[in-house]
Chain A
Amino acid sequence: MAAITLERILALQAAYIRCIDNNELEAWPDFFLNQCLYVVTSAENHKAGFEGGIIYADTKGMLIDRIAALREANIYEKQSYRHILGLPHVTNNGGGSAESETPFMVVRVMHDGQSDIFATGVYLDSYRVEGGDLKFAKRLAVCDSSRIDTLMALPL
């Protein structure tokens, strides 16, 4: 199979952060395959080979549940994110799948206007085309720091 074009990867990355930052979280799970892996972890944990994450989902159902819980069950102050991405560095491409590393920075904006850099890090991604759409088979959000301020409600 042909390689996945960088244009498609860029479009997926851009759509993903737009979805979260625009608070369209119900659409967020659709960026992933049904069998997927989404983990928010830290560089220290990743390097140590620790598999545990701050968020860990290995099915799309778990991603849907994460959003349902945020909408229906969990209590947190109103907040939003602004993701700023660096350029994806494609590390592997061919056979209908690809892998890349993309740096991110997330500013968390609280309801009272307080804005802070909430997380920086790199997305370690694996992509696959399914039904003509490019999706994440795996997305590890590896934060540079193991320190989380207050709580992590919205996904990275």
Chain B
Amino acid sequence: MNVNVPPGSIPNTAQPMEWPEGALTRIPFWIYQSPEITALEQQRLFEGPVWNFLCLEAEVSKPGDYRVTFVGSMPVIVARDFDEEIYAFENRCAHRGALIALDQGGHARDFTCVYHAWNYDMKGNLKAVAFEDGVGGKGGMDKTFCRSDHGPRKLRVANFCGLIFGSLSDDVPPIEEYLGDEIAGKIKRVLHKPVTVTGRFTQMLPNNWKLYFENVKDTYHASLLHTFFTTFRINRLSQRGGMAVSPNGGSHVSFSFIDKANKENDYAAMGIRSDKEDFALKDPSLLDNADEFGDGCHMQILTVFPNFVLQQIQNALAVRQVLPKGQMQTALNWTTFGFVDDTPEMKKRRLRQNNLAGPAGYVSMEDGAVGGFVQRGVAAAGGERAVVEMGGSGTATQNTRATEASVRGFWKCYRAHVGI
């Protein structure tokens, strides 16, 4: 049978790697689907001139402590050496490429690959090769073999307020410059004293990593998708708040202040789902917020390009690390924390308020699923595109959260890095 398809009758075929007209206000859906894009991102973005969040300094507080993490798909060891400094290197033996560390972290004097017992120090230097001189005068490495010529790739490490970032690039700006004054200041606002970890969980998201990172930057959705917030007047777009985007577009911070006097009822006027005024908590002490930073800001969500989130939702504090796991899956690593000098009351308050965020969070559980809704929704729409025009077409800081400026900022930064 001969089927003739008239030219132009199949409008939805994907336009591979070609960004649509409309610059930052249009996002082609193939960007979330293509294995080629995933490979490009690893090479140009995660291993490029960016600072990847690796772990908290508090997780490698003593010499010999180490954590295993990732830069994109690259396995990485973060270790504190006995010179007290923190180092990061690829978790890959220089010999045959096996993982050097097989667990999530712990304490070590050095690292030995299990395959052929090649040994590394805490800086990632190759220190010993088993049977290097052979056995009984036979075998062994050639005399020209030089251990210092071989080793896993080493990362540059930056410690900003106890956040450990790593980069494979020699060209990435210093961390403070990379963050910009506004983002750096808002990190310092929260991480102003030593922290202590209270929990670690991984949420596996059924979507491309970018859908989650956009979601965190998307101030427009927060009070519409997350009805727990609006129900208790924790977060309304009509509240006093705003957002700022870093100069490169890739990082952002959004914040809001409690304004109990504000009786505006924009949601009811629009008949939006997220308005349930009669819903009351049986135990409202969950929302018993302490103004611990002394500025009345009860919520601050901050991202650092390409994979970091700092969360302050009332007194629930957490960092989130976004890791791609292929183009259709994302690991979201949550680390909840408090401060070393927290009173028992504050400690308890944080444990209770942690219910607001995380995989079962009252105000965040939807974010675990909504990226999957998009991923499934666009399954056959590689040639179509998203419309991101709320708040105009720019990426500048705005004193409203009814905007998608920080989402556009992400794409501006992303496209500059990936080169598409």
Contact = CB atoms under 8 A, between A and B. Distances in A.
Interface of A: 40-42, 44-45, 50-59, 61-62, 64-66, 68-69, 72-77, 146-153
A4 to B, nearest CB: 28
Given A52-B198, A52-B336, A52-B354, A75 B204 contact: no
Interface string B281-321: 11101100000000000000000000000000000000000
B202 A65 contact: no
Nearest to B359: A148
B283 A74 contact: no
Contact of A69 (B228, B350, B354, B358): B228
Given A59-B283, A73-B227, A73-B228, A151 B365 contact: yes
Contacts of A66: 355
Given A50-B199, A146-B200, A153-B360, 15 more contacts: A50-B198, A51-B351, A52-B336, A54-B201, A54-B358, A56-B351, A56-B352, A56-B354, A56-B355, A68-B281, A73-B279, A74-B366, A147-B203, A151-B366, A153-B365
Given A41-B199, A148-B201, A151-B368, A73 B362 contact: yes
Contacts of B198: 50-52
Contact of B362 (A42, A45, A51, A69): A69
A45 B199 CA distance: 6
Interface range on chain B: under 10, 10 to 19, 20 to 34, or 35 or more?
35 or more
B369 interface: yes
12 contacts: A41-B199, A54-B360, A56-B351, A57-B355, A62-B352, A69-B228, A73-B276, A74-B227, A76-B369, A146-B200, A147-B202, A152-B360
Given A55-B355, A76-B365, A153-B360, A50 B200 contact: yes
A150 B201 contact: no
Given A52-B199, A62-B283, A150 B354 contact: no
B190 interface: no
B231 interface: yes
B225 interface: yes
Nearest to B232: A73
Contacts of B286: 62, 65
B394 interface: no
A43 to B, nearest CB: 12
B206 interface: yes
Given A45-B200, A146-B201, A53 B368 contact: no
Contacts of B360: 40, 54-55, 148, 151-153
A53 to B, nearest CB: 7
B184 interface: no
Contacts of A152: 359-360, 365
A61 B227 CA distance: 20
Contact of A150 (B104, B355, B358, B372): B372
Nearest to B279: A72
B100 interface: no
B205 interface: yes
B197 interface: yes
Contacts of A68: 279, 281-282
B49 to A, nearest CB: 31
B359 A146 contact: no
Contacts of B203: 147-148, 150-151
A14 to B, nearest CB: 24
A74 B285 CA distance: 19
